[in-house]
A = this chain, B = another copy of it.
Amino acid sequence: MKLHGYFRSSASWRLRIAFALKGVKIDEQEFYPLRDGAQRAPDFLKINPQGLVPAIETDDGHALTQSLAIIEWLEETRPEPAFLPKDPIDRAKVRAMAMVVACEIHPVQNLKVLNAVKALGHSDDEATAWARHVNFEGLEAFEALLQNTKGPFCFGDAPGLADICLIPQLGNARRFGADLSGFKRILEVDAACKAIPAFANAVPDKQPDAV
């Protein structure tokens, strides 16, 4: 199993958590410093024509892309420990939380979008303010969803798909200076996840390519 990723990419971070929780060893990693455009190198475009990390190469030679698609594949092929509850309605609620991060927050504050904001003539500070607002507003919605579930994790007493998406996003939110102090349930989830090695070892600073 080979992971193509980057220490600071929060979608790569999701995969580091997910593989560790499932106990699936990543045998090899390749790192793509995004600011240098390494993810657009011809060899990597053969693996992911989108030129985005993360991607996975499986032991039997399949290239998989899009972190949530990879995590669903992991869940289907290695059911334990489960990332989704059993009841279909509960599964939809957990997936919806994951997608608040993956379809609402993350895409609008990544490096590509911030570069697009700057290309319109705005400063680094304005791009950071954009990212901070996107994170704050999105996490405010996430916190509202968490009012309907029990803790200490996003959905009950074990981590799952929603936690796997939330924790890396909190890393971004803090990097951009979003004030998370009012998000009590989110902070409860954050504390519960920090105590689990699969989460603790996945943080950017602990990766081999961290600078």
Contact = CB atoms under 8 A, between A and B. Distances in A.
12 contacts: A49-B147, A50-B141, A50-B144, A51-B141, A64-B89, A66-B95, A69-B99, A70-B96, A99-B102, A107-B108, A116-B130, A120-B126
A93 B117 contact: no
Interface stretch (A71-79, A168-176, A187-195): A71-79
A151 B107 CA distance: 29
A38 interface: no
A62 interface: yes
Interface in A32-86: 49-52, 58, 62, 64-66, 68-70, 72-73, 76-77
Contact of A72 (B95, B104, B120, B130): B95
A49 B144 contact: yes
Contacts of A113: 108
Given A73-B88, A73-B92, A120-B122, A99 B66 contact: yes
A102 B103 contact: yes
Q: Which 3 A-B pairs have the closest CB atoms?
A: A49-B144, A69-B95, A73-B92
Contact of A107 (B88, B104, B141): B104
Contacts of A120: 117, 120, 122, 126, 130
A111 interface: no
A91 interface: yes
Contacts of A122: 120
A106 interface: yes
A158 interface: no
A175 to B, nearest CB: 20
